[in-house]
């Protein structure tokens, strides 16, 4: 895949992108309290799907070294980084 074609499916943003590992949706990272940060596309997608697909990985962090991938779970019982 060509990273230059990756974009948030909700906002069109091209930075701070997260891939949903269940359904392939690409969404923007979380907005910060001060409205900086991402478009919130990945979290909004998780909520819109009935909180069914919680696992996401930040695009650009997936390498041959699995421990370098930035993975996150939105599930209420986890809601945090996931170690691989």
pLDDT, averaged across the chain: 92
> For residue range 27-46, what is the model confidence (pLDDT) as tens digits?
999 998 898 889 999 999 99
> For residue range 64-74, what is the model confidence (pLDDT) as tens digits?
888 888 999 99
Whole-model pTM: value is 0.89
CB contact burial 47-69 (16+ within 10 A = b; e otherwise): eeeeeebbbbbbbeeeeeeeeee
């Amino acid at each position: 895949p060509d990273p230059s074609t990756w974009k948030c499916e909700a906002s069109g943003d091209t930075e701070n992108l997260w891939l949903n590992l269940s359904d392939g949706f690409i969404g923007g990272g979380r907005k910060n309290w001060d409205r900086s940060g991402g478009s919130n596309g990945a979290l909004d997608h998780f909520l819109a799907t009935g909180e069914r697909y919680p696992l996401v990985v930040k695009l650009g962090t997936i390498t041959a070294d699995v421990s370098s991938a930035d993975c996150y779970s939105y599930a209420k019982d986890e809601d945090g980084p996931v170690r691989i």
